[in-house]
Amino acid sequence: MRQMIIGNWKMHGLRKAGTDLASAITTEIGTILKERDVVLAPPFTLLHHLFPLLSEHGVGLGAQDCHAEIEGAYTGDISAGMLADSGVSHVILGHSERREHHHEYNALIKRKVMRAREFGLCPVVCVGESGRQKEENLAEEWLGKQITECLPPDFDGIVAYEPIWAIGTGKAATQQDIESRLTFLHDALARHLETDDKSMRVLYGGSVKPEDAASILAVPGVGGVLVGGASLSARSFLGIARAGLSLAS
């Protein structure tokens, strides 16, 4: 499986800083792209601006959300069609921060997934359990519910497993945690999609750092990583993207 590295810049970056960061990453990305796919997801305001630079270097352009409707009176929102028109290829949906702060629920995320696919975007659907669910052994029940309720039966995108208790804490899940959860998710996806194929990309996200990346990317079943804070530093992001490759220095 060819792994994917996605950088989620969240609500960071004005035009100059965003351009400088993207330029620093793309300058050194060439050899990495021989073995892995790379996508950067800047704020909406930088999508159109960064598309020429990223596309020139073979880096995908991602967005951090889209609306479930094609268009309409939805002040402040952005549609899948608008994203596609700006050169976007991937869109992150159902991130735990949007679930928490914007009260997004599984059925809404499923509608967004279907709308994204309608406009040729690859949905990257985030799933994950809270610390309480982990402690009470409810994680698999919750993850299974997210899979069945967020993904249409013909889903062909990407799933990102992000344990909520690890996001922004600086502490990634252990290799054993990740392998166990990804084994469960691959099985859940196979059941939900009614297929024996377990090759769908399932990324890991949650305080991924350069020093942890090689061990995370070596876990069986890991299709790549979704990087948050570390993607705001070219050095850190490139260190993660190179981790475990023969070209790593």
Q: Pinpoint the alpha helices (H) of 58-135.
A: 80-85, 96-101, 106-118, 131-135
Task: Give ∠ CA 138-143-145 in degrees, rounded to 5.
Answer: 100
Taken in order of first residue, the domains within the chain and their CATH numbers are 4-242 (3.20.20.70)
pLDDT tens sequence across 197-212: 888 999 999 889 999 9
Question: Given this model, what pLDDT does residue 249 score?
Answer: 45
State the pTM of this model: 0.96
Sign, CA torsion 205/50/88/93? positive
The binding site for substrate consists of 8-10, 168, 207, 228-229
What are the catalytic residues? 95, 162
Residue numbers in the known binding site are 8-10, 168, 207, 228-229
pLDDT value for 166: 81
55-87: pLDDT as tens digits: 999 999 999 999 999 999 999 999 999 999 999
Instruction: Tell how far CA 14 is from the center of its chain.
Output: 22
pLDDT > 70: percent of the chain:
98
**Residue 113 above 70 pLDDT?**
yes
Residue 248: pLDDT band with limits 50, 70, 90: very low
Average pLDDT, the chain: 95
